[in-house]
Amino acid sequence: MKPLQKIGLGAVTFGREIDQQQSFRIMDAAAERGILFFDTAEAYGQGASETIIGNWLQAHPSMMEQVTIASKLLPPYDVVSLKQRIAASLRRLQRPYIDLLFFHSWHASVLDVDLLTLLGGLMQQGLVKNIGASNFNADRLSRLLEVQERHRLPKITAIQNNHNLAVSDLDASLLAVTRKYQLQVITYSPLGAGFLTGKHMEAVEQGSRFDRMPAHQDIYFTSDALGSLQRLRIAAAGQKELQVQWALAWALHHPDVDQVLIGARSEAHLQQAIDAASFNDLAFLQQLKPFY
């Protein structure tokens, strides 16, 4: 898949960092540019992200079937609430089905055969087209796939993990599993929640995700991540635009990645990714950090 075709719209900002009007502008801009994969979750804005996407779809009925919608459910997972939670997401999305439903993160309950059987039934009903796993490591992903295979249940078709030049959850063992089962690989946070722009070099920027969600600091303020940022800054000679372009290009050109989610607060963020997709000096990108 060409890098431009890999760009998806991450809707984590909708209803949390930007209002519906601005979210509509971003979805309009995405659709105009052929970006038709929208990723959301029940947790984003406590349902506001799904609601905003649903309202946009109602305002653009011709896009209802053209756009692929992915959403996610938080753990724990249980047979009592699964159907109700999916129904709630569908009401917010104002759509009869979810194209790709993710387990948002690992929990042992994901291995419950009754739960997976119920989910398979909902897929037969057409409420969910495909299922995936987000933020799973290789061992947990393999365990889920083995249970699904052993009981002849519908298997997950995609994973979604953090992946960028500074911090990546796509290690060799995980990619071995995705290749074995031919899973779609979707990644998010190609700029490390802004870390790779260098805006936190002096201090954490107030109002940023690093400020609102301090757990980001533990993940990114490490010697390895800071070393990757330093190599990027030196290569770009301190030019922020080049830093952003090359960081996005590195994420978009990884050969195992099928979709890169761009979490946007403005149309300019989408354009940055589109511009980065055309940067194809793979030897240079590999010098920043090998893909494997």
List, in order of start, the domains of the chain with CATH numbers: 3-288 (3.20.20.100)
Q: How many CB atoms are closer than 10 A to CB 275?
A: 14
Contact (CB, 8 A) for 105 and 75: yes
Maximal CA-CA distance, the chain: 56
Question: What's the Cα-to-Cα distance from 263 to each of 77, 110, 224, 237, rounded to whole Å?
Answer: 26, 27, 24, 26
Q: What are phi and psi of 157, to 5 degrees?
A: -115, -5
CB under 8 A, 24+ apart: contacts of 286-292 = 287/235, 288/165, 288/228, 288/231, 288/232, 288/235, 288/246, 288/250, 289/165, 289/228, 289/231, 289/250, 291/253, 291/254, 291/255, 291/256, 292/172, 292/175
Give the span between the Cα atoms of 69 and 227, in whole angstroms: 36
Find, among 250, 241, 233, the residue nearest to 269 by Cα: 241
Contact between residue 128 and residue 119 where contact means Cβ atoms under 8 Å apart: yes
Helices 223-235, 240-252: axis angle to 10 degrees equals: 120
| Token output for 139 | 């061992």
Q: Which residues contact 185 (CB under 8 A, 6 or more apart)?
A: 158, 159, 161, 170, 175, 178, 256, 257, 258, 259
Q: Each residue's pLDDT tens digit in the chain (292 positions)? A: 888 899 999 999 999 999 999 999 999 999 999 999 999 999 999 999 999 999 999 999 999 999 999 999 999 999 999 999 999 999 999 999 999 999 999 999 999 999 999 999 999 999 999 999 999 999 999 999 999 999 999 999 999 999 999 999 999 999 999 999 999 999 999 999 899 998 776 556 666 666 566 667 778 889 999 999 999 999 999 899 999 999 999 999 999 999 999 999 999 999 999 999 999 899 999 999 998 6
Residue 271: HSE in the Cβ half-sphere, 13 Å Cα cutoff: 6
How much is the pTM?
Answer: 0.95
Secondary element (H or E) of residue 286: helix 282-288
DSSP one-letter code for 154: P
Interatomic CA distance for residues 257 and 185, integer angstroms: 5
Residues making up the chain, counted from first to last: 292
In angstroms, what CA-CA distances link 229 with 86, 122, 216, 223, 244?
40, 44, 15, 10, 11
Q: Which two tokens stand for residue 109?
A: 């309950």
> How far is Cα 10 from Cα 261, in angstroms, rounded to an integer?
5
Encode pLDDT of 59-104 as tens digits.
999 999 999 999 999 999 999 999 999 999 999 999 999 999 999 9
Query: Which 3 state secondary structure label does DSSP give 125?
Result: coil
Q: Which residues pair with 260 in a beta bridge?
A: 7, 187
Helix H or strand E segment including 7: strand 7-10
